[in-house]
A and B are shown apart, each in its own frame.
Chain A
Amino acid sequence: MAEPSHEDWDDYIDAVGRALGLPIEEAWRPAIRANLAVSLKMAKLVDEFSLPDEAEPASVFTA
């Protein structure tokens, strides 16, 4: 699958920003885009690591 383009990211920022009710000024967009790229790069590293279906998250609820 092709990497998202610049425009794809802007569309994503607009859509998620609207869904979350976040006001985003145009001047903030380059920094948000850059931060999103870094955060998703980090998330990809995690995503790529295979864990069994039975893996428990670190926080385990206790009733």
Chain B
Amino acid sequence: MNFPFLTKPSPPVSSPLDPADQTAGAIAAAVAAGKLSAVEATDAVLARIAARDGVLNAFTDVTAERARAKARAVDADIAAGKPAGPLAGVPFAVKNLFDVEGLPTRAGSKINRDRAPAARDATLIERMEAAGAVLIGALNMGEYAYDFTGENVHDGPSRNPHDPTRMSGGSSGGSGSAVGGGLVPIALGSDTNGSIRVPSSFCGIFGLKPTYGRLSRARSFPFVMSLDHLGPFARSVEDLALAYDVMQGPDAGDAACTTRAPEPVSAMLSQGLDGLRIAIAGGHFQKNLFPEAAEAVSRVVAALKVTQVIDVPEAARARAAAYVISTTEGASLHLDRLRTRPQDFDPAVRDRLIAGAMIPAPMVDRAQKFRRWYRSRVLDIFKSVDVLIAPATPCIAPKLGQATFVLDGVELPVRANIGIHTQPISFIGLPVVAVPIPLEPMPIGVQIIAAPWCEHVALRVAHALQQLGVAAAPAPRGVLENGSRSA
């Protein structure tokens, strides 16, 4: 089939001998087999960060000493004959709203830098490291996660690895930038309204927003408790699944965390599409699209041979309700800081939160009641299909600082509308894999959406698209190594 856009070349690795270019799975296999040490993998990644992060500005903290100590411990365990974990020696980094022992959890803010250093790592970091992974540092993000751009007035913007003059996407911008830019094979982020799926789309990588409650949020800084999710980013579906599998499981530290036992997915990825009923999300999800977003969806549905379109009822209203809940719960979370330190906020975040504090309470109650109604209707859809396909973002990454775009003939603010297609999905906690479609000149993502607790279904479809060559994380080309990290 001929498509109007060129496809971005996507060699699997730019330098197969450099561990920094390997997938997490390849690193773990090499470390387990004694062909590569965890220390070598860690040093390679630290060198890559030194070479590229001056341009990308993905990291706010590089925990090199801790990383080398952990890597030595992984190597010592393997030398002592202990079983290597599934992520043995795999470097990873986390959005800086995860507690990292010894660091104040800044959550992209200036204010939180005055917090006491975290006494203990977030649960998900502990689970990654228990599987042998090596924490490399903390990543840039939009202030208090109220962001879709990846810009940050305190730390500067994290930048897009495919064009550093463009946004990384938010709010997990550093996570997208670090994985897309080849700094680490896996990063963790959070998604309240799209903050995993938007950076995945803009930076050309895979991202998993699991079912609400699937992964523990214990010891991470919240934004909207009733909508917050945590999840992984990677450059392959296999790596996404590897990280997801080791992070699952109940946790009394998060009141919303499931009591379900872990349901590993890695062994299921290659089951293919057999038996899966897939449809295109219609209505709201087929509006407000730039041509590249429509193109990306077209490529996916052509590859999957999908023709059925299902309207998701009231999706635009669902987006509005998510907006109301987010702005009001966010305002409640930050009310004391808005009273005492308003000058220390990013003004764009502060002014939105103050407005959020002024929304009458009945509107919030109605939004929560609508949420249950909408959930029921969408679950009805999943009785007849297993997967819905929808755009992840309406456009490729906008230029840094870009304030507006023209969508369907209407000039709209960029910040408020980047998440127009992600918000109605996270609103009811559905699991989604954002898959990158490598268009020229910039990649863009598509959402593979499944029923609650069916991450394996979305990941199977993502894996099939990867096998078909339709979804791929393109390597950045030659624009990143002209700046060194100053720290």
Contact = CB atoms under 8 A, between A and B. Distances in A.
Contact of B363 (A17, A43, A55): A43
A42 B358 CA distance: 13
A52 to B, nearest CB: 9
Interface string B315-337: 01100110110010000000100
B375 A58 contact: yes
A1 interface: no
B335 A20 contact: yes
Contact of B354 (A17, A55, A58): A17
B435 to A, nearest CB: 28
Contacts of B327: 39
B314 interface: yes
A31 to B, nearest CB: 4
A56 interface: yes
Contacts of B351: 28, 31-32, 35
A35 B320 contact: no
A7 to B, nearest CB: 16
Contact of B366 (A16, A23, A35, A47): A47
Interface string B432-445: 00000000000000
Contacts of B338: 22
Given A32-B351, A46-B363, A55 B369 contact: yes
Interface in A9-34: 12-13, 16-17, 20-25, 28, 31-32
Interface residues of A, number: 30
Interface residues of B, number: 38
Contacts of B469: none
A4 interface: no
Interface string A27-63: 0100110011011101101110101000111110000
Contacts of B321: 42, 45-46
B355 A58 contact: no
A39 B362 CA distance: 14
B370 A46 contact: yes
Contacts of A38: 355, 416
B356 interface: yes
Interface string B356-392: 1111101101111111110100000000000000000
The 6 closest A-B pairs by CB, nearest first: A35-B355, A57-B368, A58-B371, A43-B363, A31-B351, A42-B320
Interface of A: 12-13, 16-17, 20-25, 28, 31-32, 35-36, 38-40, 42-43, 45-47, 49, 51, 55-59
Given A39-B359, A42-B321, A57-B372, 6 more contacts: A22-B357, A28-B351, A32-B351, A36-B355, A45-B320, A49-B317
